[in-house]
Amino acid sequence: MTKVNQAVFNHEKMYTFLKGYAIGKGMTETLKALSYARQKHADQKRKDGEPYIVHPLTMACNATALDISDDTTMAAILLHDVVEDCGVTLAELPVSDKVKQTVKYLTFTVLDGETKEEAKRRYYNVMLESKEAAIVKLIDRCHNVSTMAGVFSREKLAEYSKETKDYVLPLMRRAKDEYPELSNTFFQLKYHITSVLNAIDLALKAE
């Protein structure tokens, strides 16, 4: 992790900021999710070596910058990888049923008899049923594409870029039609994601 990243994405500072933000707005689900996520991700690292908790905390800070202060959405941001990556069941999450349901939408699974591609199509199609899940997924992809350079192999960069174009950007277009009140939020996320993808694609073509 570079000194620049340490200065911008200090997880202790983000945690303190988000805790104060949640207290100030009376976001009880977010407060429960914040401490639980830190506990469950405590020993995990991202591919770039950062503590894993940097990922959901950065997403949550991004959400506040986008004026998202919905308690369910913020709690789901913090918990979106816990079930998939930490061996935790939905029932164990110390949050409301609505937050649990949102996390369920965000947890990728391959059902018996499905190929991975079939599971992806189901995953992204069903996600549109939840406004909160759609927002979380788009913020998640925004952060993931922003941190893949220098970490992913050339092949993985191309694969992730293609998946984003095939599944995530169509999800965003459909979500914009389904939830027009969030058009400004979706524009900001699309601008960020497509800018990064364009830069990655140009770099791959130049090699």
Amino acid at residue number 151:
V
- Report pLDDT for 8: 55
Say which DSSP state 167 is in: I
Q: Quick one: what percent of the chain has pLDDT higher than 70?
A: 96
What's the total number of domains in the chain? 1
| Tens-place pLDDT, residues 40-92 | 999 999 988 899 999 999 999 999 999 999 999 999 999 999 999 999 999 99
Asked whether residue 7 carries a pLDDT value surpassing 70, the answer given is: no
Mean pLDDT of 168-188: 97
Amino acid 190: pLDDT = 97
Supply φ then ψ for residue 131, to 5 degrees.
-60, -40
Per the listing, tokens 């965000």 go with 106
Query: Are 115 and 135 contacting, i.e. CB atoms less than 8 angstroms apart?
Result: no
3-state secondary structure of 92: helix
CA–CA dist 90, 75 (Å, integer): 13
Nearest to 76 by CA among 15, 34, 19, 109: 34
Q: Is 51 helix (H, G, I), strand (E, B) or coil?
A: strand
Whole-angstrom CA distances from 169 to 1, 100, 130, 163 are 29, 25, 16, 9
Average pLDDT over residues 9-20: 94
**Band (161; pLDDT cuts 50, 70, 90):** very high
For residue 174, the domain's CATH number is 1.10.3210.10
For position 5, what pLDDT does the model report? 44
Question: What is the model's pLDDT at position 192?
Answer: 97
Tens of pLDDT along 121-137?
999 999 999 999 999 99
Task: Count the helices and strands in the chain (H runs, E runs).
Answer: 12, 0
pLDDT at position 207, please? 67
Structural contact between residues 14 and 57, judged by C-beta atoms closer than 8 angstroms:
yes
The two tokens of residue 127 are 């996600």
Share the mean pLDDT of the chain.
Answer: 94
| CA dist., res. 73 & res. 151, Å (int) | 28
Which tokens go with 93?
């999450």
- pLDDT of 206 reads 85
Beta bridge partner(s), residue 51: 45
* Rounded mean pLDDT, 156-183: 96
Q: Quote the CA–CA distance of 97 and 3 in Å, as a whole number.
A: 40
pLDDT in tens, 23-40: 999 999 999 999 999 999
pLDDT at 42: 96
Domain range for residue 132?
A: 3-206
